[in-house]
Amino acid sequence: MDRLTLRRPDDWHLHLRDGAMMRAVLPETTRHFARAIVMPNLVPPVVTGRDAAEYRDRILSAKPKGSKFRPLMTLYLTEETEVRDLRAAADIGLITAVKLYPAGATTNSASGVRDFTKVRRVLENMAQIGLPLCVHGEVTDPEIDIFDREAAFIERVLDPIRRDIPGLRVIMEHVTTSDAVDYVRSGGDDIAATITTHHLVINRNHILAGGIRPHYYCLPVAKRESHRRALVQAATSGDASFFLGTDSAPHTDAAKLQACGCAGCFTATNTLSILAEVFEAAGALDRLEAFTSLNGPAFYRLPVNDGTITLERGDSVTYPAAIDTEDGPVTVFDPGMPLHWRVRD
Ligand SMILES: NC(=O)N[C@@H](CC(=O)O)C(=O)O
Ligand SMILES: [Zn+2]
Ligand SMILES: [Zn+2]
Ligand nearest to the CA of 137: 2
3-state secondary structure of 269: coil
Question: Hey, what amino acid is at 155?
Answer: E
Residue 176 pLDDT? 99
Residue 44: is the preceding peptide bond cis (ω within 30°)? yes
Phi/psi class of residue 147: alpha, beta or left (left: φ > 0; alpha: ψ in -120 to 50)? alpha
Please list the residues that pair with 133 across neighbouring strands: 98, 170
Residue 14 CA, distance from chain mean position? 5
Contact by Cβ (8 Å): 34, 297: no
CA of 106 to the centre of ligand 2 (A): 6
CA-closest candidate to residue 251, choices 241, 263, 234: 263
- 247 catalytic residue (yes or no): yes
d(CA 222, CA 201): 10
Q: Which atom of ligand 1 is nearest to the CA of 196?
A: 1
Q: For position 101, which CATH number holds?
A: 3.20.20.140
Residues contacting ligand 1 via CB (< 6 Å): 15, 41, 106-107, 136, 218-219, 247, 249, 263-264
Q: Which atom of ligand 1 is nearest to the CA of 217?
A: 3
CA-closest candidate to residue 177, choices 233, 135, 215: 233
CB contact burial 208-243 (16+ within 10 A = b; e otherwise): eeeeeebbbbbbbbbbeeebbebbbebbbbbbebbb
The annotation status of 263 as a binding-site residue, yes or no, is yes
* Pairing mode, strands 308-317 and 339-343: antiparallel
Residue 179 CA, distance from chain mean position? 18
Residue 1 pLDDT? 79
H or E, element range at 72: strand 70-76
CA of 264 to the centre of ligand 1 (A): 5
Residue 107 pLDDT? 86
Residue owning the nearest CA to atom 6 of ligand 1: 107
pLDDT under 70: residue ranges of the chain: none
Residue 138 pLDDT? 97
The annotation status of 15 as a binding-site residue, yes or no, is yes
Q: What confidence tens digit (pLDDT) does each residue in 205-249 have? A: 999 999 999 999 999 999 999 999 999 999 999 999 999 999 999
Contact by Cβ (8 Å): 250, 15: yes
Q: Any alpha helices (H) in the chain, and if so which ranges?
A: 19-30, 49-62, 83-91, 120-129, 149-153, 159-164, 178-185, 204-208, 225-236, 253-256, 271-281, 288-289, 295-300
Residue 345 pLDDT? 82
The annotation status of 198 as a binding-site residue, yes or no, is no
CA-closest candidate to residue 125, choices 165, 92, 163: 165
d(CA 310, CA 316): 16
In the chain, the number of structural domains is 1
Contact by Cβ (8 Å): 24, 326: yes
Contact by Cβ (8 Å): 69, 35: yes
Q: Name the active-site residue from 179, 239, 247, 334.
A: 247
CA of 14 to the centre of ligand 2 (A): 10
3-state secondary structure of 99: strand
CA of 313 to the centre of ligand 2 (A): 32
Q: Which atom of ligand 1 is nearest to the CA of 136?
A: 9
pTM of the predicted model as reported, rounded to 2 decimal places: 0.98
Domain of residue 94: give its range.
3-343
Residue 105 pLDDT? 86
